[in-house]
Chains A and B, each alone.
Chain A
């Protein structure tokens, strides 16, 4: 009681409030914005390295080998030479790997005109073992079984084109996903807002369910449902249809981006007065014509939000994509997957950092440019919505066609979004139980994930709500606008690039802070912070400032106004923001991998189970536990915010 009194007295002072606002902006700038785009400074400081290592005509090679499982393991040695049948010496040693699970690496900066030869050595406490030799000529002969360590066939690619290829795939997929989301999402939003039907509330809840499932679990689940999955027993109901990695990623990304599109379209549709449409209909327009020519043009704001959210989400996604690709057995990579894979390797081979930086920079810049372009295109370009075809539109407005449309929407939701999301239950129920790896790792990763998610939710709320207040209620409108725009940046930047940039920022600028846990917390704050700010700012804009003013004149100090008047009025949005931040953190893979390869959160653990160990049953079970636990956490969060009156 005394403390609250002291606090409210303190905040009654203008200077104290000004200081607090300055702190909020400082926090945002230093902990969110700057680290997010820090990697861009590489363009200035290290362009030379990027241009010689990445942009020149050099190759990179992927090496993978069989794992050494004995207890006397010390380290793997990766050796490179330009002569064949070379001996392992100090001069041929490229780098060492002190983790026996890491049996994959990448080397860069190889001249295409030279033939390189590689060998892996294993250092144990008593001896040195060496593997067979491979080279970059493309010739590979299966080694005789006398080798204890087998080096598999190397994959040689041109570094620059590999990067462009992966980025191109990312953008291509994001664009296709966004378009499909829009086409299928519009009728769904329409149904949710403008139609009354039995079970609408359930429908409404179902729509959000994929959001509660971490994407790593979604990736596994969707792949099991759709894909041809070699090496995994297909559960009953599996379609076994897709073998193309592109198509699989597209269906996967639709699953988790579709709800975002429907939600943003529905939100704006709710705001548009139906009377415009009714007025159009009384003037003789058929229902479709009225909707198309009157409501749709008013839609642009919602369209921008929906497109940006879907696009950014698809562009960012790492964990689910990695899992889906691994389940399919494909070597294809998207931009974020490339960053995640390389970052894992870069721990032992620092030569990869320029390539990583370059990939992140391109990803960030393209994402930002696209954000601006989408905004301009959707708001400025005239949509061809003026022309009217009375007859066909009249025909389409009544009777069977709209019913078919609704049916199609429903089927889309069911088969493309819902069933793939939860198909994993069918798998776990039917697959042969097998526990290849102990559960200890999973429980500790789950604990780690929850620790991070809880901490970042608390930080987001504590510092995000004041930021929202500053944006909406701040004295300076200009500052509000600027902050409002900047807040979106971490939302657009793909999380893998964000994670890499952030890791770089903290480890180079404040290296004393760069423990993996701290780094992951910083990274997760950076991309979840905008979610809380967005939600709360939206609610504050809807709330009339007059309530706060009245409370002030009735004698309430600023803190009392906040606690007694503002907080209760915006509680639902705070809850929504908190749930979003919490679940996003819980499901995030890309940023976690890119920040610190050592930190094992639950989704990262699931990715590893599938990618490195092919422990599918266990991964499935882990997914279900993760889904169940995050669902419980959501309920708990709801309960806590309701109770904290």
Chain B
């Protein structure tokens, strides 16, 4: 229906930046997720797009038009808030036809649109129910129907699945995407749930402290994070501080503080430079006993957490550092606490990042 662009949006609350030079391009009909920890400024961005908050600087374009001087009601967007905010004094039908009614469309058209939307979200049999009589999933669907009935060109979803049970959340994810993709509406979906973002989006924007950390499709975000924060926030990762010692055309050699050698594919860093090596916990292997060689870390199992399909194993190295390994449960059962193990980093799965100015700890802070 329409493309959208945010250009250099900045919004400050006191000394805190809720948006700090935020840029975003959304193509026509694209499903974009803004992923970030709580307090990253995600909701602020949505509200700025909606016109509910005025940005300090920067522009919002919907289509080719700059909408900064338009009030919310003229921006042709629809916002679905966290708690859905269905009007408590209206039933399902009245909620659904709210936008057509305030637009003053003729009654026939309202009737047609209302029925179409409610059929789409399968709520036609509950038209007389009030929000308090609906289950969480029904409320979510009703709110969606209400938003879609407004004929909006851009749909803004603020944690639309947060208030639902875990199981329902997963089911509704796909349904949500299918519905808006079928209608071809440009959608911006805000969430702090990385799994949700990875499964639902055409494009993910990882956001922290009002800034864009990385933009890309789910695969890129997960497999090729461009910085430590993204690697850490989207899926878990292990990080080790190292110094580059050797570099050749097919490999790069590094050494960590305890003198272990780590080898990776060559990357664009100079010999002698202090960098951070990272690897997703899913790509970290573990073996019983001591295994000599490069990319290996000897340690003791401190804790084993059962996650259902996977187990997460926490290994404490001699110097006190902890590494995490995520392996399928079928293999994981072989490991016990206090067992001596070797953790192995696969050389072709390693990320290498610049050493952060404020140190590794600071960079890993989520909030």
Contact = CB atoms under 8 A, between A and B. Distances in A.
A556 B77 CA distance: 12
Given A549-B50, A549-B72, A560-B102, A554 B78 contact: yes
Interface in A533-570: 544, 546-547, 549-558, 560, 564-565, 568-569
B72 A553 contact: yes
Contacts of B79: 549-550, 553-554
A599 interface: no
Contacts of A565: 87
Contact of B71 (A12, A554, A564, A569): A12
Q: Is the interface of B mostly helix, strand, loop or mixed?
A: mixed
A550 B147 CA distance: 9
Which size bracket describes the interface of B in this complex?
20 to 34
Nearest to B143: A550
Given A546-B83, A547-B87, A553 B71 contact: no
A77 B156 CA distance: 81
Contacts of A546: 81-83, 85
Given A12-B71, A12-B73, A549-B52, A555 B102 contact: yes
B89 A568 contact: yes
A425 to B, nearest CB: 40
B88 interface: yes
A558 B150 CA distance: 17
Nearest to B146: A554
A436 B147 CA distance: 70
A554 B147 contact: yes
A552 B72 contact: yes
Interface size for chain A: under 10, 10 to 19, 20 to 34, or 35 or more residues? 20 to 34
Contacts of A5: 104
Given A569-B88, A569-B89, A554 B99 contact: yes
B93 interface: no
Interface in B20-74: 47, 50-52, 71-73
Contact of A547 (B78, B85, B101): B85
Contact of A553 (B77, B82, B83, B101): B77
Nearest to B103: A555
Contacts of A553: 50-52, 72-73, 75, 77-79, 156
B98 interface: yes
Contacts of A544: 83, 85
A56 B218 CA distance: 88
A552 B146 contact: no
Interface string B93-119: 000001101111000000000000000
Query: Most B CB atoms within 10 A — which of A5, A14, A550?
Result: A550
A409 B80 CA distance: 50
B358 to A, nearest CB: 34
A489 B326 CA distance: 65
A544 B85 CA distance: 9
A546 B50 CA distance: 12
Contacts of B73: 12, 552-557
B85 A550 contact: yes
Most chain B beta carbons < 10 A, residue from A552, A554, A560, A569: A554
B78 A557 contact: no
Interface in A564-607: 564-565, 568-569
A553 B103 CA distance: 12
B57 to A, nearest CB: 18
Contact of A549 (B81, B87, B103, B146): B81
Interface string A53-94: 000000000000000000000000000000000000000000
A14 B68 CA distance: 13
A227 B13 CA distance: 64
B322 to A, nearest CB: 37
A492 to B, nearest CB: 34
Contacts of A12: 71, 73
Contacts of B83: 544, 546
Contacts of B101: 564
A565 to B, nearest CB: 6
A477 to B, nearest CB: 12
B92 to A, nearest CB: 15
Contacts of B51: 552-553
Nearest to B147: A554
B98 A564 contact: yes
Contacts of A557: 71, 73, 102
Contacts of B104: 5
Contacts of A558: 71
B211 to A, nearest CB: 25
Given A553-B52, A554-B73, A568-B87, 11 more contacts: A14-B71, A544-B85, A546-B83, A549-B50, A551-B98, A555-B73, A555-B150, A556-B99, A558-B71, A564-B101, A565-B87
19 contacts: A12-B73, A14-B71, A544-B85, A546-B82, A546-B85, A547-B85, A547-B87, A550-B81, A550-B85, A551-B102, A552-B73, A553-B50, A553-B77, A554-B150, A555-B102, A556-B73, A558-B71, A564-B101, A569-B87
Q: Please name the 9 residue pairs, one residue from A and one from B, whose CB atoms are nearest each other, closest first.
A: A553-B79, A552-B72, A554-B99, A556-B102, A568-B89, A550-B85, A546-B85, A560-B102, A554-B150
